[in-house]
Chain A
């Protein structure tokens, strides 16, 4: 096992990875703009319950708290994987990526359970403007987390089969940006959707 710090790298390679990082950063910023539009839509629509369930009727504080805890912890465990990556410890990278995956999967399980429960109670996305906007906003975030979970699996495969090479390390750092970015969006979701809705 070679530490990343021990490896030699050509300036051209470093430049290429920096270009890719910048491109990925631009994608994240445009994704942030998409989420901002969904938040604006939600805030405009939240009062339009059409005589159906209001936020207070359908949101659960403990579930939102559990989802928040899982996603925040998964952000921290990804950080530990990044620390292991910079030390070149392949086994630890795999272990902490696996922990991150399980925490993220727990989050998705809670969210799907919440959506299924709401739809079963007749509070599906077609019920009112409020619920359409809620499912679009929170569902888009959940879809991103699901894609992130698939990406974690792919990267675990790459770390396992290819080892910690420069391209793999570079991709892992971009996955980290994506994962931490999704946690920021979730902070906004519980601060804009769940907490004011339950107040």
Chain B
């Protein structure tokens, strides 16, 4: 017995190909920089961080299809709330632990 009641799913190939191309570029550059050591350490770390954030936005946009028009509002609110929690927990942990570390060294 087949339930033949469908849900509207519209997926085209284009966003996945754009996403893949952008992700390859955003991955290859940081790996290349680490492999060759072309830039100073500090600059490479900054580029790795910026490209990671850019690639996460690419994945959210082109693979998970998150946008401000079609994504339900409550999903965006949940995402924003998770980001706030992550910011507080990661930022807070690093702040406290490295502050403690420096004070112990004195």
**Interface, chain A (partner B; CB < 8 A):** 2-10, 13-14, 17-18, 21-22, 25-26, 29-30, 32-33, 36-37, 39-41, 43-44, 61, 64-65, 68, 72-73, 75-76, 79-80, 82-83, 85-86, 162-163, 165-167, 169-170, 173, 177, 180-181, 183-184, 187-188, 190-192, 195-196, 198-199
Q: Are A17 and B63 in contact, CB atoms less than 8 angstroms apart?
A: no
Q: Given A195-B30, A195-B48, A199-B41, do A25 and B78 touch, yes or no (CB 8 Å)?
A: yes
Query: Would you call B27 and A72 a contact (CB within 8 A)?
Result: yes
Alpha-carbon distance between A37 and B30 when the two chains are bound, in angstroms: 24
Contact A4 B9 (CB under 8 A): yes
Which residues of B approach A to under 8 Å, CB–CB? 2-13, 15-17, 19-20, 23-24, 27, 30-31, 34-35, 37, 41, 44-45, 48-49, 51-52, 55-56, 59-60, 63-64, 72, 74-75, 78-79, 81-82, 85-86, 89-90, 93-94, 97-98
> Can you list 7 A-B pairs with a CB-CB distance of less than 8 A?
A5-B10, A29-B79, A36-B86, A40-B94, A64-B31, A79-B16, A183-B63
Residues in B whose Cβ lies below 8 Å from that of A188: 52, 56
Residues of B within 8 A of A44 (CB): 93-94, 97-98
Once the chains bind, are B78 and A26 in contact (CB under 8 Å)? yes
Contacting pair A40 B93 (CB below 8 A): yes
Are B9 and A191 closer than 8 Å at their CB atoms? Answer: no
Q: Note all chain B residues with C-beta closer than 8 A to A75.
A: 20, 23, 59, 63
Chain A contacts for B74, CB-based, 8 A: 22
Give chain A nearest CB distance to B72 CB in angstroms: 7
Which single residue of chain B is at the shortest CB-CB distance from A79? B16
Known: A83-B16, A165-B3, A184-B59. 18 other contacts (CB 8 A): A5-B6, A5-B10, A13-B5, A13-B7, A17-B7, A18-B72, A25-B75, A36-B90, A41-B93, A72-B23, A73-B20, A79-B13, A165-B6, A166-B3, A183-B63, A191-B51, A195-B31, A199-B44
Tell which of A83, A170, A181 touches B64, judged by Cβ atoms closer than 8 Å.
A181
Asked if A191 meets B30 with Cβ closer than 8 Å, knowing A9-B6, A29-B82, A36-B90, the reply is yes
